[in-house]
Amino acid sequence: MKPRFFASRVLLPGLFVLIISVLVVSCGDFKKSSVVAPPSNGSVDFSVYVSIGNSLTSGYQEGALYESAQEYSYPADIAREAGVYASFKQPLMPNPGTGAMMSITSLSGPTISTASPTQTSPTDASSLLRPYNNLGVPGAVLYDMIDTTNFLQKSIARSNPFFAMILRNSAFGNSVVAQALNLHPTFVSVWIGANDVLGYAASGGTVGTLGPGSGPTDPNQWGLMFAGMMNALLTGAPNAKFVVGNLPNVTAIPFFTTIPAVVVNPATRQPILINGQPIPLIVQKHDASGNLIVAQANPQTDLICLTALDSMEAGVGIPASIPGGTGRPLPDQYVLDSYEIAKVENAISGYNSAIAAVAAANPSRVAVFNANTALDAFAKDGYVAQGVDLSASYITGGFFGLDGVHPTSQGYAYIANLFIQTINQKFGSNIPMVAISSVPSSIPLAGLTQAQKARLWQHVSYSDLKPMLQLIQRTDLR
Amino acid sequence: MAHKYDAPRCIVVAILAAVVLTSSSVVYGSGYQLNEHGARAVSMGGAFVARAWDASAIYFNPAGLGFSNGLNVMAGATLILPSTTFTGPYPNNTEWKMNSLAFYPPNAYVTYNFDNGFAAGVGVFTPEGLGTDWPQNWVGKFIITKVNIQSFDINPTIAYALGDVISVGVGFDYVLGNVTLQKYNSTQFSDPAGNPVEPFIDMKGNANGTGYNFGVLLKPYPNISLGFSYRSKIDFKVDNGTATYSGADGLSALLPSGSVSTSLPFPTTWYAGIAYEGLNWSVEADYQFVGWSAYKQLNITFQNPGSGNPAPIVGDYKDSYILRVGGEYEIDNMWTARAGVFYDKNPVPDSYDLPILPDADRLGLNIGLGVNLTENVGLDAFYMFLPFKQRTITTSAYGFDGTYNTTANLMGLDISYRL
């Protein structure tokens, strides 16, 4: 073959095809182009990010505050995604941390054990000469944000070491808000108020914010306090932007949704039916006018606390006509009845109105993360993240830890993403979200035998849940 | 001239051995289908059903054997170099790059025409293949880290031609190979040291299946030929696979165990084409149907399910098609130039487009060259550039939204011997 011939009949058509290929790929649908806008913090200056709140903000998990959980607190997740994690100081308490950590130690039940209380101080407690960026204090109610009581005295009075451990020195500011302002924040996240109602709810309506017999913090007072706190923050940090989380419904958490208010056959894990009807538990509850009576629980409206397991194992709450039943009513402290739920809902809706009002008055500076609707939706539908299935089911859902109240690391990551979504929508930023599959699963599994582990892989249901001892008392519900 | 007769025998033996020993697994046709089974055909965009002029007719259209002459031996391989990235999970911008892969599916055919209208032959090729290999610690590790499907189709074929006008061919397909699937399982738990409990599962097994194929070639006018070729669905079954676990923190004894079985459908496919033949050139246009709706979901069943069999890998594929155009120009007695193009519609719905097999519409751009080294020996080579449309998923059923980009470079070489 002559070279010229080769060039004209082979090489040139070949080149032609190659050029077309290059053109096709470099334009149109075949081109590699960025679909997602690059990360940006929009109009938010994240250089000094401060988070205030309670245990949910601190990263509290499994009955304790410990470093490997704090690393996955939702403010830590937000700071990481916003690129400011290095300067976002948390009071990291080396494992096993401070508190009494729960773990599954036997699946005969399962048995959930609580370790002996431990206390580990943040390694930089005395070297960091400024407030922490994460000012989430386990056990705090709204009032604790503005309360100027001496931290050490308060910790002793409340049997809660965290005030002194996290706030440390009144020279940094004599309250949570004062310490936050002392940092001259450019961005603040606020999620506070859960304990103002959860203490009451988790004690079956027996122990309110002001002690036994009291109710949730009064919504009007709460609203005034909240407006005052936000006013202090808004004026004290005049250039900062804010995201505020509102409060979820109690029916979104497994502490209240795991145990049905009817008698369950431990063998079949199904409700026992007589004449086709389930048998309600016998409980202490309030009638419509608020008098404590002994009556059948209403499975549609009454909630049984996770803490009732102990008593139920002993036959309390189960009619005497059922084998193993004592006929004695389940005490008030384990039952959140419809009368009490109304108070809880009234408080939550009052708090949420106050939050909405503050946001409405400061539309350019305050975004509201609607945790109320978001967690209801989550409880209903669950969430699939990169092949990881999350739901609101106790233990098996992967979202809530063993206390039935506090999220796992993956659960917190989901919450962080909801906060980020809110920030992005409000402030035009494009902060990336946490890839939940990259966050380690975190419900502690300790010392299980093979046979016990086998059962773990099956579903955990109410009848499997053995006495949890005094695991979940009010002081643990931080 | 004894050596003249020895050479082909040696070549055949060597090539068949090479084919059987060579592993092959590919992401190349839509889904996990492979269509590259002969360099000459591929260099014309795979539009070959209405001509089927060489021994690869066993794959493209068995009726082609009826119009062939004497002994034809052909063997070769394709080198496939794909490159895939995943950017996400949405709305993140992190780019994850699939590990570099190289595949080389082989092909080999022998045909003989008895000059009494009958012809027979046998072919070996790789009808389906799939390989994805993501970094072990990547963001989609709970969905997949590695998939590998290898298959060889042994395809004995007979054909009968009536004069120069019509030929029909029919073949039987015995497919064997293996399937591998690796991933991490998410659990809710951490071990006493605080590390997440994430068992790694490696499932593999040998597989086989059977099917049939047939084809028709019509030459109503001297210059025009019509071709139709049908390949049946094949259930590629794994009956006695194994699963091994690691990193399960002692939980492995409780995970599903025993032999693993599954079945992967190789879809029905048919080609219909029309070709026009000039003095020293020819062109062809084909429509290829691929019955991907056969892939609804992949069920993996264990002998001892333990806490339960793995969730099925849902595909819910739709039927799809490929449009092919190509031709060749005989430059002189020695050289032939070829080119072709195809458009391959992907069968995967958005919600199930997963990193197990990220798919998208593709454009195949092909060029090729044929050379007659001697009167009996020919070489055919092609190059294909295969860009995929960028595909962005926002409705993933696995919570895995993001953008996939894939391109592949393919090169192939076949040597043929005619007597």
| B190–A445 C-beta distance less than 8 A | yes
Residues of B in contact with A398 (CB under 8 A): 186, 188
pTM of the entire structure?
0.85
- pLDDT tens profile B48-80: 999 999 999 999 999 999 999 999 999 999 999
Residues of A in contact with B334 (CB under 8 A): 1
- Which pLDDT value is given to residue A6? 56
Q: Please tell me the distance from the alpha carbon of residue A140 to that of residue A146, in angstroms, as a whole number.
A: 11
ipTM here: 0.80
Residue B192 near residue B158 (C-beta atoms within 8 A): no
- What residue spans define the domains of chain B? 7-418
Average pLDDT of the residues of chain B: 87
Which tens digits make up the pLDDT trace of A112-133? 778 888 999 999 999 999 999 9
Q: What is the pLDDT of residues A141-180, one digit of tens each?
A: 999 999 999 999 999 998 999 999 999 999 999 999 999 9
pLDDT, position B187: 78
* Residue A360 phi, psi dihedral angles, 5° rounding: -65, -30
- Give the mean pLDDT of chain A: 86
| Distance separating alpha carbons of residues B25 and B60, to the nearest angstrom | 20
Q: What is the pLDDT of residues B365-406, one digit of tens each?
A: 999 999 999 999 999 999 999 999 999 999 988 889 999 999
Give the range among A8-22, A447-461, B49-63, B141-155 with minimum mean pLDDT.
A447-461
Q: What is the mean pLDDT of residues B29-36?
A: 81
Pair A444, B192: CB distance under 8 Å:
yes
How far is A284 from A203, CA to CA, in rounded Å?
A: 13
d(CA A415, CA A370): 11
Across A390-394, average pLDDT: 87
The position carrying tokens 């009071």 is: A91
Considering only the beta carbons, identify the residue of B143, B192, B390 that sits closest to A387: B143
In the CATH hierarchy, which fold is given to the domain comprising B7-418?
A: Porin (2.40.160)
Tell me: the pLDDT tens digits for A179-231?
Answer: 999 999 999 999 999 999 999 999 999 999 998 989 999 999 999 999 999 99
What ranges in B109-169 are assigned the alpha helix state H? none
User: Measured between CA atoms, how close is A395 to chain B, in angstroms?
Assistant: 7
A324-375 pLDDT tens trace: 889 999 999 999 999 999 999 999 999 999 999 999 999 999 999 999 999 9
Residue B399 and residue A383: Cβ atoms within 8 Å?
yes
User: Can you tell me which residue has the tokens 């390949």?
Assistant: B231
Q: Which of A10, A445, A454 sits opposite B254 (nearest CB)?
A: A454
What angle separates helix A371-381 from helix A409-427, to the nearest 10 degrees? Answer: 130
Give the closest-approach CA distance of A97 to chain B in angstroms. Answer: 13
Cross-chain Cβ contact A29/B390 below 8 Å: yes
Name, in order, each residue with C-beta under 8 angstroms of B339's C-beta and a sequence gap of 6 or more. Answer: A13, A14, A17, B43, B44, B45, B326, B327, B366, B367, B368
3-class DSSP state of B416: strand
Contacts of A1 in chain B (CB under 8 A): 331-332, 334-335
Find, in chain B, the residue whose alpha carbon is nearest to that of A38: B93
C-alpha torsion sign, points B395, B400, B402, B403: negative
**Residue-level length of chain A:** 478
Mean pLDDT of the region A395-413: 92
Residue of B nearest to A420 (CA): B91
Write out pLDDT tens, residues B131-178.
899 999 999 998 899 998 889 999 999 999 998 999 999 999 999 999
Q: What is the C-alpha to C-alpha distance for residues B387 and B168, in angstroms, rounded to an integer?
A: 35
pLDDT at residue B33, rounded to an integer: 87
Q: How far is B337 from chain A (nearest CA, A)?
A: 6
Nearest CA in chain B to A434: B92
Q: In terms of Cα–Cα distance, which of A273, A378, A298, A290 is closest to A339?
A: A290
Give me the pLDDT at residue B244, please: 83
Check: CB of residue B369 under 8 Å from CB of residue A1: no
Nearest chain A residue (CA) to B332: A1
Contacts with A435 from chain B: Cβ below 8 Å: 89, 92, 94, 139
Bond prior to B91 in cis (omega within 30° of 0)? yes
Burial (CB < 10 A; 0-12, 13-18, 19+), residue A171, is exposed
pLDDT of residue A42: 86
Q: Are the Cβ atoms of A20 and B307 closer than 8 angstroms?
A: no
Please state the φ and ψ torsions of residue B345, each to the nearest 5 degrees. Answer: -85, 125
Testing the interface with B: which of A11, A12, A18, A30 to mutate, by most B Cβ within 10 A? Answer: A30
Report CB contact under 8 Å: A441, B363: no
CB contact under 8 A, A457 and B188: no
Cα–Cα distance, A55 to B20 (Å, whole number) = 63
Q: Give yes or no for residue A102 having a pLDDT over 50.
A: yes
- Going by their DSSP bridges, the two strands A207-208 and A211-212 should be labelled as antiparallel
Residue A20 with chain B: CB contacts under 8 Å:
365
Cβ-nearest to A453 among B254, B308, B392? B254
**CA neighbours closer than 13 Å in the CB half-sphere of residue B257:** 9
pLDDT of residue A64 exceeding 90: yes
CA distance A426 to A420: 10
Question: Is pLDDT above 70 for A426?
Answer: yes
Cα gap B271→B60, rounded to integer Å: 8
Cβ(A147)–Cβ(A230) below 8 Å: no
Which residue among A20, A385, A443 places its CB closest to the CB of B399? A385
CB B49 within 8 A of CB B215: yes
Size of interface A-B (CB pairs under 8 A): 170
In this prediction, residue B13 carries a pLDDT of 45
Rounded Cα gap, residues B242 and B257, in angstroms: 8
Evaluate if residue A28 carries a pLDDT over 70: no
Q: DSSP readout, B237-266?
A: EEEEEEEEEES-TT-GGGS-EEEEEEEEEE
Judged against a pLDDT cut of 50, whether residue B18 lies above it is answered with: no
A371 and A248 in contact (C-beta within 8 Å)?
yes
Measured CA to CA, the distance from residue B31 to residue B209 in angstroms comes to 18
Q: Which residues of A touch B255 (CB under 8 A)?
A: 457
